[in-house]
């Protein structure tokens, strides 16, 4: 029989190895899944993980990596702070939607005014929108001890309904021939989150994602708040004795992740998506949870994990058109990745030992 023995300290080597092994096992597991669906497993895995980077049309797909990766990284960086301290914001999807509504709302309310101040104001409103939406679970948690997991998640469905209401009502394009959806911000120069350098797909959101990674790193490594977050995660009791205020931590972690999710939504609506519409949100807020874990809750890890997850999104789209793979297959694959990662994580904290057979009477 096998026996688990707790390591005195988590193994650093396995900390790095587990995510890599998880990706490899997911490729195998995903291959089996696709084979069961009647697709060629090697073809499918190659299309998803290799083609977007190195195929004939890679020049088109590579910039897409940044477009899809930026919101994932932005959201996951925020989530990772809370996850470290055991504060579970899983309603990032809702904060993303509200950020987009507030950001777009700021622009649409002054349309067609032309000013350089519009875009910065939109960024501010996007962040405030996401922040405010995240403050609902945060304040309920600190004031009444309400479970933040359930409240933040419920608010996703509320936000989705609000999004539907906005795209059918208040924000509907008056010149849209009755179609649902707002004016397209890509055609409103002052509000457009355009590429900073042509052909690179680097828009303001990508820049913010990079800044957030560096900010989070400094925060965790150098700032007292980061220390409190890490301390609470590793030993809540020690944190209590050290005088960490848990309420402050809840407000900070939820607020920070909400603001980043709101920013991600705002950059998306002003750039790649262009308009508020019923199907504006595509699940970045949920996928970011996987990104945060795959990146080991480490800012630079999250950056790599975000790009990898963006890769599977793009690869999934290619596989959908070339192999007829259902679009939801990628979601299942991403879920599978998290399973393997969580399973392999055991090796970071435990040693596997061969145990002698127990005495039986």
Partner 1 sequence: MDLSAISPTLLVASLMVAATPILLAAIGELVVEKSGVLNLGVEGMMITGAFSGFAAAVLTGSPMVGFLCAAIGGAALSVIFAILTQYFLSNQVATGLALTLFGLGLSAMLGQSYVGIKPPVSAKLDLPLISDIPVIGPILFSHDFTVYAALTLVTGVWFFLKYTRGGLILRAVGESHDAAHALGYKVVRVRILAIMFGGGCAGLGGAALSLVRVPQWTEGMTAGAGWIALAIVVFASWKPARVLLGAYLFGGVAVLQLNLQAAGVSIPVEYLSMSPYLITIIVLVVMSTNRAKSALNAPAALGRVFHASR
Q: Which residues bind partner 1 (CB under 8 A)?
A: 4, 6, 37, 88, 90, 136, 140, 144-147, 149-151, 153-158, 161-162, 164-165, 168-169, 286-287, 289-290, 293, 326-336, 338-339, 342-343, 345-346, 349-350
Closer to partner 1 at the Cβ: 171 or 270?
171
Q: Specify the residue, 203 or 296, whose C-beta has the smaller distance to partner 1.
A: 296
CA gyration radius, the chain: 22
Least distance (Å) from partner 1 to the CB of residue 123?
Answer: 27
In this complex, which beta carbon is closest to partner 1, that of residue 55 or of residue 331? 331
d(CA 286, CA 165): 22
What three-state secondary structure class fits 5?
A: strand
CB of 197 to partner 1, least distance (A): 35
Residue pair 140/151 in contact by the 8 Å Cβ criterion: yes
Residue 80's nearest CA partner among 214, 308, 256 is 256
- Closest to partner 1 by CB, 57 vs 339, is 339
Q: What is the DSSP letter of 281?
A: -
Minimum CB distance to partner 1, residue 299 (Å): 19
What is the spatial distance between Cα 73 and Cα 67, in angstroms, rounded to a whole number? 11
Neighbours of 321 (CB within 10 A): 9
Beta bridge partners of 354: 2
- 290/295 Cα distance (integer angstroms): 8
Q: Which is nearer to partner 1, 112 or 326 (CB)?
A: 326
Residue 195: CB minimum distance to partner 1, A: 31
Q: Identify which of residues 73 and 163 has a Cβ nearer to partner 1 in the complex.
A: 163
* CB-nearer residue toward partner 1: 119 or 313: 313
The structure tokens listed for 355 are 């145990």
- What is the nearest approach in angstroms of partner 1 to the Cβ of residue 205? 23
What is the three-state SS of 21-76? Answer: HHHHHHHHHHHHHHHHCCCCHHHHHHHHHCHHHHCCCHHHHHHHHHHHHHHHHHHH
Least CB distance to partner 1 at residue 339 (A): 5
Q: Whole-number minimum distance, CB 50 to partner 1, in Å?
A: 21
Question: Whole-angstrom Cα distance, residue 126 to residue 266?
Answer: 5
CB 130 within 8 A of CB 98: yes
């Amino acid at each position: 029989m096998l026996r688990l023995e707790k390591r005195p300290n988590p193994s650093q080597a396995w900390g790095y190895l587990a995510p890599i092994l998880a990706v490899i096992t997911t490729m195998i597991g995903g291959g089996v899944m696709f084979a069961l669906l009647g697709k060629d497993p090697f073809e499918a895995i190659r299309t998803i993980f290799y083609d977007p980077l190195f195929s004939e049309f890679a020049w088109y797909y590579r910039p897409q990596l940044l477009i899809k990766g930026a919101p994932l990284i932005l959201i996951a960086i925020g989530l990772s702070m809370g996850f470290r301290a055991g504060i579970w914001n899983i309603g990032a999807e809702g904060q993303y939607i509200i950020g987009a509504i507030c950001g777009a709302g700021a622009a649409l309310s002054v349309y067609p005014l032309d000013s350089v101040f519009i875009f910065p104001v939109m960024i501010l409103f996007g962040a405030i929108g996401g922040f405010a939406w995240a403050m609902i679970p945060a304040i309920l948690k600190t004031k009444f001890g309400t479970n933040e997991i359930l409240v933040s998640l419920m608010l996703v469905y509320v936000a989705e309904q609000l999004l539907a209401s906005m795209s059918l009502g208040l924000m509907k394009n008056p010149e849209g021939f009755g179609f649902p959806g707002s004016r397209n911000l890509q055609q409103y120069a002052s509000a457009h989150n355009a590429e900073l350098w042509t052909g690179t797909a680097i828009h303001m959101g990508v820049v913010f994602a990079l800044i957030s990674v560096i900010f989070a790193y400094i925060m965790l490594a150098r700032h007292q708040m980061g220390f409190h977050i890490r301390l609470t995660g590793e030993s809540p009791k020690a944190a209590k004795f050290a005088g960490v205020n848990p309420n402050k931590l809840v407000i900070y972690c939820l607020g920070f992740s909400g603001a980043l999710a709101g920013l991600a939504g705002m950059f998306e609506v002003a750039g790649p998506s262009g308009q508020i519409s019923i199907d504006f949100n595509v699940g970045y807020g949920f996928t970011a949870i996987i990104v945060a874990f795959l990146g080991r809750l480490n800012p630079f890890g999250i950056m790599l994990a975000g790009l990898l997850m963006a890769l599977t999104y793009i690869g999934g789209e290619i596989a959908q058109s070339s192999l007829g793979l259902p679009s939801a297959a990628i979601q299942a694959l991403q879920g599978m990745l998290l399973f393997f990662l969580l399973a392999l994580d055991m090796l970071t904290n435990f040693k596997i030992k061969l145990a002698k057979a127990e005495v039986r009477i």
